[in-house]
Amino acid sequence: MKRFSVKRNIRLKLILAACLLSIVPVLIISIGTYTIASTSLQQEVGRAKRETLKQVQQRIDDKLIALNKTILQHLFNPSLDEFLKLDDPYVNIKLYQEAIANLNSIEVLVDNVDSAELYFVREDKILSVTNGLNPANSMDPELKARLRSRSAPYFWIDRKTDSRMTRGGSQEVTYVREVPVRGDSPRGYIIVKLNDRAFFQVYSEMDREVNSEMLVLTASGNIFSDWNKSLLQDDLASYSFLSDIHRSGLKESGYTEKVDGQDMLINYWQSPHNGWIYVSIVPVKELTPMFVRIKELTLILCLTLIVGCLTAALLLSKHFYRLIKSILDLIRGRVNRLPLSNGKQDEFGLIRHYVETLHTVNDSLNDQIEDSKPLLAAGFMQHVLTEAVPVHELTEKFDYYDLPRISPFYTVMCIELDDVRGQTERDINLFVYAVKNISEEILGGVASGTVIKMRADVVLLINHKPSGTAASRKTEVFQLAEEIHTMVECVLNITATVGVGRCHEGLSSIRHSFKEAMDALQYRLILGSGKVIYVEQVEPNRQQQAFSYPSELEQQMMLQVKLGNEQQLAVLLDEFGQDLQQRGGISTEHVRMAFMQLVSRLLRELYELDPDGGPLLFTYSLYERVNELRTMSQMIAWLKEGVFPIISRHIMLRRKDSNHKSIATVQQYIEQHYDDDLSQPMMAELAGMPPSHFSHIFKEELGLTFSDYLIACRMEKAKELLISTDMKVAEIAEKLRYNNSQNFIRVFKRIHGATPGDFRASWAGQSPVIGHRGNGHMTIPGKGSGMIE
């Protein structure tokens, strides 16, 4: 019996040793699987991040190029060249004010501009909107040295400011261009300081889901950072990996490095336009939370099995029973933290339970990957529609995501909802997904393809049958677009505009069709919303023709604004829109630019008349509203109802107030100089008006003509002289500029009902005075009973 017990113990020890050894390959396989999966995920995310950085770089470069073109348009101003030719900038106030207005228009009209200044090379002075003309003592020495060298007609300069802020201080980007644009020797430079927050806003809009940060390394060695991010806590100049990226000379790359005590996934992309390097930093733990949990669970499971086997082996020895008992209690305390199955189990049952748990977690992860496949496919399609992708990658991923590839012919269609202003974000998303569902249902019944949501648009990728012709493919697309357009309007009770691109051959040409569809949508500005627009109908030859601006109608509208004729303004504005529509070869950019120029001229007239109150008249940006409106009819209605009447009434009110002050000045002058030779042209010049206009305004303000008012004023002075002095009637007549005293007597009697002599005698005898005396009123000539205050 004792021998049998010994054999059984030996057998149990061998079984436990085999179990313990079997844990080793499980542990190796688990760790290897985690490492491979984590590395693969980091590589995939790295590629996606570099693509995102490439799109960010292209958008920022487009912003900088557009800024250069916009400022160049503002500099083609003859008054600016004439102002720079002046020896003394203050000698011509009109040119000075126009230069200030030009700088102000750059600050107001151009996006992402903090300030605009004009530097005078010869005088070493700088002109700004806020500070006027001052010596350029506070100018950055590096910038001044670049200006003195005259190395290029325009350049960009970035520098680190003196601010003692966290992470190395703030940065400043400055655009400089010589003025005049044409000529060998510049007389000045326009200096525009940009708001670098716009760079990081582009990245924030494109990457919202991960705790990541973007840095910009400039060619001069400076580092831009988003102040709203705090992933890197220390001074950015102290991080060696940023210096390594700058010195590497590579256009793009990605790797993992430990930064601030944690693993970071670092990717970067260099701009071919200005040499800036865009760096993306993402904590690795943000990318692999599920893998980390699986790794921890595997390790805990393996440790549990090891401890269980050791515990069972030690329990077979009576000498270590008490020690094993205490260790077992400790292990049970740790096992209680893990998920257990129902019922009481031995050690082998516990091992089986956790292996099954591991398989369940792996199956759950695979299910999650399959469930997220449509979302991954939509993200991949957005990349295909906007960027060039190698053909082999397109073929591989089209097969992986089960995207249509029955023929090489593809057409892209874009659907955008109309009139969603005022809707909540939730309602807009509901409408967009409803349109997506309708499109999927209709597309699935007639052709092969896929439908994705791209921002607030619905995009259809149509894969035509290989047996069709070019005409049949075009007909198929038109019928599909019209059916979707009609169904959306009937089912959702909203209108949508559909843009259709051309049919292209090959996967790599899909993005060309998408761009054409988006271009077709832009022609809603001219053709109106709620339509199906095919790009070949609006751009048959893709030729950009010269555009001429209807400046005559603009001049007429500015005149009617000043006159306050709102009815005629509405008529001219309709003619302005009709003129734009009738011009051949006009594009959406031309239309939007024309309305931008009209608004700019309108604001310039307003600011010139009222520099203080004009900028406060509107609480929103008129230029942003022009960009927000989608059709020409919406722009015209907005100008008729919300812009022209407000500005016209404000101008009329200001002019009326100005006329009142001018006439009051003339009245005061007449009171003080009644005994001088006064004439209507002289007073018109004093009021700053043409004589005919002065006569009309004077009569409108006081109710009588200038000559009648002058006579009434002098007759009141004659009464005062008769009462308070011993001057003879002839002397008073001469003082009041009457060549003949008889004329003076006749006028005095007509106004006051008595001759000057009778008036003085009546006053001296304290008898009732004929007429009015000493009461602050003036009698109107020729109307014995009339008076004015």
Select from 477, 474, 476, 481 the least CA-distant residue to 458.
Answer: 481
| pLDDT reported for residue 287 | 66
Query: For residue 459, is it within any domain?
Result: yes
Q: Which of 286, 302, 335 is the last residue of a domain?
A: 286
From the CB of residue 200, how many other CB atoms can be counted at a distance below 10 Å?
Answer: 21
Residues 463 and 600 in one domain: no
Residues 487 and 361 in one domain: no
Query: For residue 3, is it within any domain?
Result: no
Mean pLDDT of all residues in 286-291: 64
Q: Which of 232, 265, 286 is the last residue of a domain?
A: 286
Residues 387 and 505 in one domain: yes
Contact 404, 412 (CB under 8 A): no
Residues 634 and 761 in one domain: no
| pLDDT reported for residue 17 | 64
| pLDDT reported for residue 787 | 37
Query: For residue 105, is it within any domain?
Result: yes
| pLDDT reported for residue 504 | 86
Whether 124 has a pLDDT exceeding 60, the answer reads yes
**Can you tell me the distance from the alpha carbon of 59 to that of 53, in angstroms, rounded to the nearest whole number?**
10
- Judging by beta carbons within 10 Å of its beta carbon (0-12, 13-18, 19+), is residue 569 exposed, middle or buried? buried
CATH number at residue 180: 3.30.450.20
Residues 361 and 378 in one domain: no
Provide, rounded to the nearest whole percent, the portion of the chain with pLDDT above 90: 0
The secondary structure of residue 457, as a DSSP letter, is E
Whether 33 has a pLDDT exceeding 50, the answer reads yes
Q: What angle do CA 456, 459, 461 make, to 5 degrees?
A: 170
Residues 51 and 110 in one domain: yes
- Which one is predicted more confidently, 417 or 286? 417
**Overall size of the chain counted in residues:** 789
Whether 606 has a pLDDT exceeding 70, the answer reads yes
Select from 133, 111, 16 the least CA-distant residue to 65.
Answer: 111
Mean pLDDT of all residues in 502-506: 86
User: Residue 30's pLDDT band (boundaries 50, 70, 90)?
Assistant: low
Across the chain, mean pLDDT equals 75
Structural domain span for residue 339: 289-371
Contact 50, 267 (CB under 8 A): yes
| pLDDT reported for residue 617 | 80
User: Residue 525's pLDDT band (boundaries 50, 70, 90)?
Assistant: confident
Residues 248 and 333 in one domain: no
Mean pLDDT of all residues in 153-164: 70
User: Residue 319's pLDDT band (boundaries 50, 70, 90)?
Assistant: very low
**Lowest-pLDDT range of 105-119, 223-237, 480-494:** 223-237
- Which one is predicted more confidently, 30 or 442? 442
Provide, rounded to the nearest whole percent, the portion of the chain with pLDDT above 70: 77
pLDDT in tens, 128-141: 878 888 888 878 87
Select from 74, 77, 147, 70 the least CA-distant residue to 104.
Answer: 74
Query: For residue 42, is it within any domain?
Result: no
Query: For residue 746, is it within any domain?
Result: yes
**Can you tell me the distance from the alpha carbon of 114 to that of 144, in angstroms, rounded to the nearest whole number?**
19
| pLDDT reported for residue 348 | 47
Contact 189, 80 (CB under 8 A): no
Can you name the residues that pair with 154 across neighbouring β-strands?
177
| pLDDT reported for residue 368 | 79
| Token code pair at residue 42 | 């980091």
Query: For residue 543, is it within any domain?
Result: no
Residues 106 and 180 in one domain: yes
User: Residue 161's pLDDT band (boundaries 50, 70, 90)?
Assistant: low
Whether 558 has a pLDDT exceeding 60, the answer reads yes
Domain count, the chain: 5
Query: For residue 1, is it within any domain?
Result: no
Mean pLDDT of all residues in 526-548: 68
3-class secondary structure, 160: strand
User: Residue 695's pLDDT band (boundaries 50, 70, 90)?
Assistant: confident
Residues 578 and 706 in one domain: no
User: Residue 320's pLDDT band (boundaries 50, 70, 90)?
Assistant: very low
Whether 570 has a pLDDT exceeding 80, the answer reads yes
| Token code pair at residue 59 | 């958008």
**Lowest-pLDDT range of 279-288, 472-481, 621-630, 702-711:** 279-288
Q: Which of 371, 397, 417 is the last residue of a domain?
A: 371
Mean pLDDT of all residues in 575-585: 77
User: Residue 781's pLDDT band (boundaries 50, 70, 90)?
Assistant: very low
- Judging by beta carbons within 10 Å of its beta carbon (0-12, 13-18, 19+), is residue 378 exposed, middle or buried? middle
- Which one is predicted more confidently, 35 or 279? 279
pLDDT in tens, 222-247: 787 776 666 777 777 778 888 888 78
Residues 702 and 647 in one domain: no
Contact 677, 637 (CB under 8 A): no
User: Residue 18's pLDDT band (boundaries 50, 70, 90)?
Assistant: low
Mean pLDDT of all residues in 729-743: 84
**Can you tell me the distance from the alpha carbon of 776 to that of 278, in angstroms, rounded to the nearest whole number?**
79
**Can you tell me the distance from the alpha carbon of 80 to that of 280, in angstroms, rounded to the nearest whole number?**
43
Query: For residue 36, is it within any domain?
Result: no
Contact 225, 239 (CB under 8 A): no
Select from 309, 313, 315, 386 the least CA-distant residue to 351.
Answer: 309
Residues 334 and 474 in one domain: no
In the chain, how long is the greatest CA-to-CA distance?
165
Contact 320, 314 (CB under 8 A): yes
Contact 404, 461 (CB under 8 A): yes
Mean pLDDT of all residues in 41-59: 74
Mean pLDDT of all residues in 768-787: 42
> According to DSSP H, which parts of 229-320 are helical?
240-248, 289-315
- Which one is predicted more confidently, 570 or 19? 570
Q: What is the four-CA torsion angle of 681, 684, 685, 686, rounded to 10 degrees?
A: 130
| pLDDT reported for residue 774 | 40
Mean pLDDT of all residues in 14-37: 66
Mean pLDDT of all residues in 365-380: 80
Residues 74 and 178 in one domain: yes
